[in-house]
Chains A and B, each alone.
Chain A
Amino acid sequence: MGRFLAIFVAIVVGLFALELTPPLQAAVVAPWTAGLARVSAALAASFDPHVLSAGKVLRSSTNGFAISIEAGCNGLEAAIVLIAAMLAFPAPWKHRLIGVAAGLGAVQVLNVARVISLFYLGQWSPAAFEWAHLYLWQALIMLDALAVWLVWLRTLRAPEEWASARAEAVPP
C-alpha cells in the first residue's frame, strides 16, 4: 500500500505539473477542452437547436447564457488521477493500457453529462448551478473514477495467473 501510494502521488504531481506547462496547455488542454465543448454542444443540439460552441464556451442563442469550461471541469484532472492509479498498481502493461483507455472513456462520458447538465441548470437556477458545479459534480466525477478503478482491479489476475498465461502463450 505504501509503495502504491508513493508511486501514485509521484505520478499525479508529475502529470499535473506537466499539464500546467504552457506547451501542454496549448497542445493538449486547450484543444481537448474545445473538443469537449463541441461534443457537448453537438449532443445538446439533438434536443435543443439553440446551443452553440465557440472554443471552450457553450452558449445559448435564445437567452445569451454561456458557460466556459475551465481547469477542473474538463475531466483532465480526473483522468490524471485514474491514469496514476492504474500505473501505480502492479499489473501487466496490456491490462493497464486497456484500463486507461476504457477509464478515460468512462470519465469523459460522465463529464459530457456534467457540462450539458450545468449548461441547463445555470439557465434554470444560479443557486442550483453553483451547488452542482462547485460541489456535487466534482464529487460524482471522482466517484466515477474510483468506481472505474475498482472495476479494473476486479478484472486483474493474480501474479501467478499472469505467469501461467504467459507460459500458455509461448508455443512448445
Chain B
Amino acid sequence: MNDSRVGGFVVRTLLWLPACFALWYGTAPYHASIAGAFAHGWLALLTPGLVHGVERTGSSLAFVTTLRVHPQPGQEAVLVPEVSALVYTYGLALFAALTLAVRARWWKILAGAGLLLVFQGWSIAFDLLAQVGIGLGPEVSALAGFGEWRRESIALGYQLGAVIFPTLAPVMVWAFLCGAFIQGVVHRDRGLPVAAS
C-alpha cells in the first residue's frame, strides 16, 4: 500500500461508507449479541454479581440484574434495564470503510471488528451502569451499593463510552492495523521508503 494521497483516501472512505453502514445495520442483531457478551464481561469485572444474564431482542439488549425493586407496595420485580446496541456499534461501519479505503488485507477487518468489541462492550456496560447508578434514582443506586465516588467514575466511564469511544475507537484501531498508510502519508514527500500494508 503506497497510495497515500489523503484526498483519494477520503473519497474512497465516503464511497465505502454507505455499503458498510448497510451491512452493519443488516447484521446488527447478531453483532449485538457478541457486543452484549463483551459488555457482560466488563460488568463481571467492574461490578461482580450485578448482572447474571443478557437477553437480546433485535438490536436491544436486556440485562437481567440481581437487583430487586418494589414498583408498588407488596410487589417485587427484577430490574432489567435495556440498552440499544446500535448507538455503540456503528463505528464498525466507519472502521470497515476506512480499512477498505486503504485496500488493506481482509483479515484486518475481522481483527479490527474483534478489537472494537472491547470498546463497544465498555460503552454498553457503562450505559447500563449509568442507568443503575444515576438514571434510575438514588434508591436503585443505593441498592446496587454505588457510593459517591463510584457514581462519579460511572459518569466519566459513561461519557467516554457514549461520546468518545463510538467514533474514536474505530479510527484508533484502524491506525493500529493500517499504520503503514499513515507512515506513507508522513514519508511520501520525503522520498523515504514506505512499509507494505
A residues within 8 Å of B by Cβ? 1, 5, 12-13, 16-17, 20, 71-72, 77-78, 81, 134-136, 138-139, 141-143, 146-147, 150-151, 153-154, 156, 158
> Bound state CA distance, A16 and B165, in angstroms?
12
Question: Shortest CB–CB separation between residue B189 and chain A, in angstroms?
Answer: 6
Whether A16 and B182, one on each chain, are in contact in the complex, defined by CB atoms closer than 8 angstroms, is no
Question: Shortest CB–CB separation between residue B184 and chain A, in angstroms?
Answer: 10
The 9 closest A-B CB pairs, nearest first, are A142-B167, A135-B90, A139-B94, A72-B163, A150-B6, A147-B10, A153-B185, A158-B190, A138-B167
Question: Shortest CB–CB separation between residue B18 and chain A, in angstroms?
Answer: 9
> Bound state CA distance, A154 and B98, in angstroms?
18
B188 proximal to A (CB < 8 A): yes
Whether B17 and A12, one on each chain, are in contact in the complex, defined by CB atoms closer than 8 angstroms, is no
Question: Shortest CB–CB separation between residue A136 and chain B, in angstroms?
Answer: 7
User: Which A residue sits closest to B191, measured CB to CB?
Assistant: A158
* B interface, size bucket: 35 or more
Whether A134 and B186, one on each chain, are in contact in the complex, defined by CB atoms closer than 8 angstroms, is no
Contact partners of A154 in chain B: CB under 8 A: 6, 185-186, 188-189
B residues within 8 Å of A by Cβ? 6, 9-10, 13-14, 17, 21, 86-87, 90-91, 93-94, 97-98, 155-156, 159-160, 162-164, 166-168, 170-172, 176, 179, 182, 185-186, 188-190
User: Which B residue sits closest to A142, measured CB to CB?
Assistant: B167
Whether A143 and B10, one on each chain, are in contact in the complex, defined by CB atoms closer than 8 angstroms, is yes
Given A154-B189, A156-B186, are A139 and B90 also a contact pair (CB < 8 Å)?
A: yes
Whether A20 and B156, one on each chain, are in contact in the complex, defined by CB atoms closer than 8 angstroms, is yes
Given A134-B90, A143-B94, are A72 and B162 also a contact pair (CB < 8 Å)?
A: yes
A134 partner, pick from B9, B87, B168, beta carbons under 8 A: B87
